[in-house]
Structure 1
Amino acid sequence: MPQEKTTAERVEQEQIAGRSFQSMNFVQSILEEDEQFERKNQDFVHFSLIHNNTFVTVTDARGNKKTGASAGCLEEIKGGSRLSRYAAEATAEHVGRSARKMGMKSVVMKVKGSTYFRKKKAVILSWREGYTFSECKRSEGVGQPSNIMYIHDVTQLPHNGCRLPRKRRK
């Protein structure tokens, strides 16, 4: 049974054969730097659409919160109307405007919530409208390229449901 070689022995054999690990490490370090550079420029927008409220949060690549709001903190929305589609749209638009003021470049959206797709779509579009809204250039907003890199639905789905209760004996 052959013994396993240590890392130093393998490197020595590779250098004897004419190959070196140094070139591979150099390429790998360049790739890692590129990935870190891309991650630094991306910000995340988290939409949490739960049954009685809506939360919209903007974070950087490390998860530090930049800005955010909920349907309950807006003055326009009072009482039990926090769960309406209008409340979700108003919250997303409010956060989109504050994100535009911060000068964000590219965004990855993560949507979480077991609501209808129509409500999720309305929230995403209203965030985009709030971000690209410009008082003096309303007509030019249609042709502008989107700053949304991709949209990811992170809603947790049940795999096989809950375990059924045991059957009653006769």
Structure 2
Amino acid sequence: MAKTQGKAAAAPKPKKVRRNVTVGIAYITATFNNTTVTITDTKGDTLCWASAGTSGFKGSRKSTPFAGQMAAQQAAEKARKYGMKDVEVRVKGPGSGRESAITALEAAGLKVKSIEDVTPLPHNGCRPRKKRRV
């Protein structure tokens, strides 16, 4: 008897289509330890993202405003490849990279149409973490 192959040849993966998106939403999440910038289209589908960690910063340097600026700059460069021109900014979190990330998006050539703070505020929900004693 002839040997039968166990697996059929895998179908080639379809190529990712580059869409032309001119208007998008930039979500800036600024925590105490890191800053991430995610750029989506108006439906909410992620186009690209960058963070202070992917920008080459490690440890406590990720929490600096300069690291947030570099992350926003990298995300904006990736978004420009999709043809993005205008962006709405939604900022979340108390971190130090908030303002510098917004100015970096403008400096990279994206026109900021609106800035919205979407930081979640509890109505006396969960117990907060213990106070730091330095």
TM-score (norm 2): 0.69
CA drift at 1:55: 0.8
CA drift at 1:81: 1.1
**Contact 1:96 / 1:129 at 8 angstroms: preserved in 2?**
no
CA drift at 1:109: 0.7
Match of 2:85 in 1: 105
Query: How large is the RMSD of aligned CA atoms in angstroms?
Result: 2.1
Structure 1 or 2, whichever has the larger Rg, is: 1
3-state SS of paired residue (1:74): coil
Partners of 2:108 and 2:55 lie apart in 1 by 15
Match of 1:92 in 2: 72
Q: Does 2:53 match 1:72?
A: yes
Structure 2: state its 5+ residue gaps. 1-20, 128-134
Aligned length: 107
Match of 2:130 in 1: none
Deviates more, 1:153-162 or 1:102-111: 153-162
Paired amino acid for 1:153: D
Structure 1: state its 5+ residue gaps. 1-39, 133-146, 164-170
Q: Does 2:100 match 1:122?
A: yes
**Greater fraction strand:** 2
**Contact 2:33 / 2:95 at 8 angstroms: preserved in 1?**
no
**Greater fraction helix:** 1
TM-score (norm 1): 0.56
CA pair 86-105 structure 1, distance change in 2 beyond 3 A: closer
CA pair 41-131 structure 1, distance change in 2 beyond 3 A: closer
- List, as ranges, runs of 4+ consecutive aligned residues in structure 1 with deviation greater than 6 Å: none
